[in-house]
Amino acid sequence: MNSNSIFSRKILSSKRQIGLLSWYFVGWLVVVPLIVGLLLQLMNAYNEVNLLFFTYVIGALVAIYLALPLLKAERKVNFGDAFRSILIVIGLLYLANIVIGGLISVLTETTTSANQEEVSAMFNQNMVLQSIATVIFAPILEEIVFRGVIFRDLRDKYGFMFSAIVSGVIFGLMHVLGSLISGDMVDVVYIVLYAVMGVLFSKIYDDTQSIYAPIVGHALYNGLSVLLMFLV
């Protein structure tokens, strides 16, 4: 399915688009962690896993509400196209991890990104909550924002590649934001790997023209990564 007709339809109003972007970059990234962290401390239940879990749950639920028109409009999925596209992209993602991740590891003398190390550490603290946050709520929130809003809005105006790269780079930036703020410029190089991931998730969306497909693809990829952590 190569036609971009669905991307020419403005499904989300400007208010909802601005609301989603504001919610993610201000509400979810800054305000929600502060409030959730304070509440967890008051209940003597504060730890990084609980903070991440409840922050992602709230983030995803609000994003779903704001993106309801999009979720309703694109609920029809060609499962054959979606399944084929998702399988190809997951294969490419693991290839990218081997090639790009390996090259970055050699150049920076690191084994993995700080973001991945943090995820692994929290997985060891509470496997269940971390798995739910990573496999279910993170893909919903991130795909709605980066593919459903950013990529989708740019796609009809600027074409696939530009739109995928822009949304992919911003997606990657969010995954190395902590290192960027702390000044760990070596780890920031991993933005390349995360950006490629973002571009490939955009490819799933472009092929299937349903936001559900990249959500499922993202969830499956994260699920396989969690399974590998469990096995290793």
Burial state string for 19-29 with b = 16 or more CB within 10 A and e = fewer than 16: bbbebbeebbe
* Average pLDDT rounded to a whole number, residues 63-75: 96
Task: Name the CA radius of gyration of the chain, rounded.
Answer: 17
Question: Following DSSP, what letter does each residue of 4-51 receive, concatenated?
Answer: -GGGGS--S-HHHHHHHHHIIIIIIIIIHHHHHHHHHHHTT---HHHH
Q: In this predicted model, what pLDDT tens digit does every residue of 138-161 receive, in sequence order?
A: 999 999 999 999 999 999 999 999
pLDDT in the model for residue 58: 98
Full-model pTM:
0.93
CA 80 to CA 67: how far, in whole Å? 25
